[in-house]
Amino acid sequence: MSHHQTKATESVTAYCNRCGKRTQHAVSDGRQGRCTEHEAPDLTKRQIEKRLRRQREAENPRLF
């Protein structure tokens, strides 16, 4: 069950599976986000794949 927060809420305390303990989690648009004790990943796997695909296409463009 997910809990929605008010728009004014900036963070909540919740259990983090990665840390294995209760930590502060960011709240964005009333929804609980990621744990604030970890560094945010630079790029997701999907973003990395898209970037590599664009680079390959720029090096070897399609004919049509």
Tens of pLDDT, residue by residue over 5-42, are: 788 888 899 999 888 999 998 888 888 888 888 776 78
Contacts of 15 (CB under 8 A, 6+ apart): 21, 22, 23
Helix (H, G, I), strand (E, B) or coil at 60: coil
Cα Rg for the chain, rounded, in angstroms? Answer: 18
pLDDT at 52: 94
- Cα–Cα distance for residue pair 24/32, rounded to 1 Å: 10
The two three-digit tokens of residue 42, written as one number: 């630079």
For residue 57, the model assigns a pLDDT of 87
Single pTM value for the model: 0.52
Please determine, for residue 1, whether its predicted confidence score (pLDDT) is greater than 60: no
pLDDT of residue 53: 92
